[in-house]
Amino acid sequence: MRIRLVAQAPEIRLPSGRQIRALTFDRHVPGPELRVREGDLVEVTLVNRDVHDGVSIHWHGVDLPNAEDGVSGVTQDSVPPGGSYVYRFRAPYAGTYWYHSHQHSADQVERGLYGALVVLPRRRAEGVDIVALAHTLHGVPLLGASDREERRRVTPGTNVRLRLINSADVLRRFGLGGTGFRVVGIDGRDKPGGGTLTGVSVPVPAGGRYDLAFPMPANPVRLGVRGEDVGLVLDPGHGAVPEVQFGADFDPAVYGAPSAPVPRHFDRHFAVNIGRRLGFFEGGLHFGWQWTINGKAFPRMPMYMLRAGETVEFSFANHSHVAHPMHLHGHHMLVFARDGRPVTPWWSDTLEIGQGERFDVAVIAQNPGVWMFHCHNLPHAEHGLVTHVGYEGVTTPFRMGKSSGNEPE
Ligand code: C2O
Ligand code: CU
């Protein structure tokens, strides 16, 4: 599968008529919805027409070879205006992913350099498959490409898969009205054995993805994002449109069957204690809260070093007074305990760690490289909540900073 994506900075017009000066892939926000099949070789040519800070594309949640990870200053140099770059990888697992620039990401993602990536299973599934990507573009809430409620015709009895993606900087709560649903996928991995839920909200961390499934009823179904004027009505052609229900939060920790067995033995344990302190950053230009890991702020944060083949435990604790959606590149984390108590394990690549919460996760070190490990509230990453996971014996020729022009955050 060959794809070409052109980064450029046009003025775009939203369905409400608002005009916004955005950064785009192919003149659309979000960029084109990419659909590939599990195991397919995907080749994407990124062309930068006129984004003057340079761009890159990170394939969020896809555990691909390190050289294809698309992080400026870590796995490549950012692509300057007039330049291009080719990514090539096999999509290893069916599931819901997204892509975004990882050059000046706090700025470029917010302004529109992102899109959905769906990896379909090899066996064709019956039914409709819909991406619902929530974003905030210059303060304007979007669901997909729209800043208002949209409608779509769906025949009763059709199997519906709704792929919720949150590309904004903070958690979004999705809700449905008019149907129950099952959660069938989290962060690009199947979630087996879950029962039907009604009325619950589905909190999706910044950068996270949750897949819902239900058979289309004879009445309309309404999807909403709490507190935002966007939505999607699935319309069978008749019946009153219901209100969206935003009940208690869905909790993956007590849902369905284990996604994988918890390893019995760990080769290494790492602590990830997230805190904050007041200080100067960005070379003394700003004074404010600095995010810290184990008491150190970027760039003084240590790198977590693994050896290929190890099974590693990361224990997160957050005493920073703010939630942090922690994202690990190139690997999935099997979440197996919260606040010291076992949970029904699930795979995550973007895990919301609330204030005061503790999580224990297992990572299998099977993808050598230098990998970003950061908060996906991207302004937090810009303000220091960034570290790296490295493998012994692996280095990178790329550099971050002023002289290279590579600024991944
Ligand atoms: Cu979604 Cu480091 O990225
Ligand atoms: Cu954060």
- The greatest distance separating any two alpha carbons of the chain, rounded to the nearest whole angstrom, comes to 63
Distance 230 CA to ligand 1 centre (A): 25
Report the chain's terminal Cα–Cα distance, integer Å.
30
Length of the chain: 409
Distance 149 CA to ligand 1 centre (A): 28
Q: Is 388 in the pocket of ligand 1 (CB under 6 A)?
A: no
Distance 58 CA to ligand 1 centre (A): 7
Distances (CA, A) of 215 to 154, 162, 348, 393: 10, 11, 26, 50
CB count in 10 Å sphere of residue 77 = 18
CA–CA separation, 188 and 193 (whole Å): 16
Residue closest via CA to ligand 1's atom 2 equals 372
Q: What is the DSSP string of 93-143?
A: S-EEEEEE--SSHHHHHHTT-EEEEEEE-SSPPPSEEEEEEEEEETTEEEE
CA–CA separation, 24 and 6 (whole Å): 8
User: For residue 299, is the peptide bond before it cis, meaning its omega torsion is within 30 degrees of 0?
Assistant: yes
Distance 351 CA to ligand 1 centre (A): 12
Ligand located closest to 101 CA: 1
Which residues keep their CB under 5 angstroms from ion ligand 2? 324, 375, 377, 380, 385
Q: Is 100 in the pocket of ligand 1 (CB under 6 A)?
A: yes
Give the amino acid at 180: G
CA–CA separation, 92 and 119 (whole Å): 9
Give the amino acid at 159: N
Per the structure block, which two tokens stand in for 366? 């099977």
CA–CA separation, 345 and 190 (whole Å): 12
Residue 402: what pLDDT? Answer: 79
CA–CA separation, 406 and 409 (whole Å): 9
Residue closest via CA to ligand 1's atom 1 equals 60
Per-residue pLDDT of the chain (409 residues; tens, 9 = 90+): 899 999 999 999 999 999 999 999 999 999 999 999 999 999 999 999 999 999 999 999 999 999 999 999 999 999 999 999 999 999 999 999 999 999 999 999 999 999 999 999 999 888 999 999 999 999 999 999 999 999 999 999 999 999 999 999 999 999 999 999 999 999 999 999 999 999 999 999 999 999 999 999 999 999 999 999 999 999 999 999 999 999 999 999 999 999 999 999 999 999 999 999 888 766 667 788 889 999 988 777 779 999 999 999 999 999 999 999 999 999 999 999 999 999 999 999 999 999 999 999 999 999 999 999 999 999 999 888 999 999 999 988 899 887 889 999 8
CA–CA separation, 241 and 170 (whole Å): 28
3 state SS of 21: strand
Alpha-carbon radius of gyration of the chain: 21
Distance 380 CA to ligand 1 centre (A): 12
CA angle 22, 29, 14 (to 5 degrees): 80
Within 8 A by CB and 6+ apart from 359, the residues are 315, 316, 335, 337, 338, 351, 353
| DSSP class of 382 | H
Q: Indicate the burial class of 311 (C-beta count within 10 angstroms; 0-12, 13-18, 19 or more).
A: middle
Q: Rounded to 10 degrees, what is the CA torsion of 387, 392, 397, 401? A: 20
Q: Is 380 in the pocket of ligand 1 (CB under 6 A)?
A: no
Q: Indicate the burial class of 331 (C-beta count within 10 angstroms; 0-12, 13-18, 19 or more).
A: buried
Distance 385 CA to ligand 2 centre (A): 6
Distance 376 CA to ligand 1 centre (A): 6
Residue closest via CA to ligand 1's atom 3 equals 60
Ligand located closest to 292 CA: 2
Per the structure block, which two tokens stand in for 131? 């991406």
Q: Is 209 in the pocket of ligand 1 (CB under 6 A)?
A: no
Residue 282: what pLDDT? Answer: 64
Evaluated on CA atoms 358, 384, 249, 213, the torsion sign reads: negative
Q: Is 207 in the pocket of ligand 1 (CB under 6 A)?
A: yes
Strands, sheet with 221-225, edge to edge from the N-terminal-most edge strand: 149-153, 231-235, 221-225, 172-177, 202-204
CA–CA separation, 48 and 70 (whole Å): 14
Q: Which atom of ligand 1 is nearest to the CA of 71?
A: 2
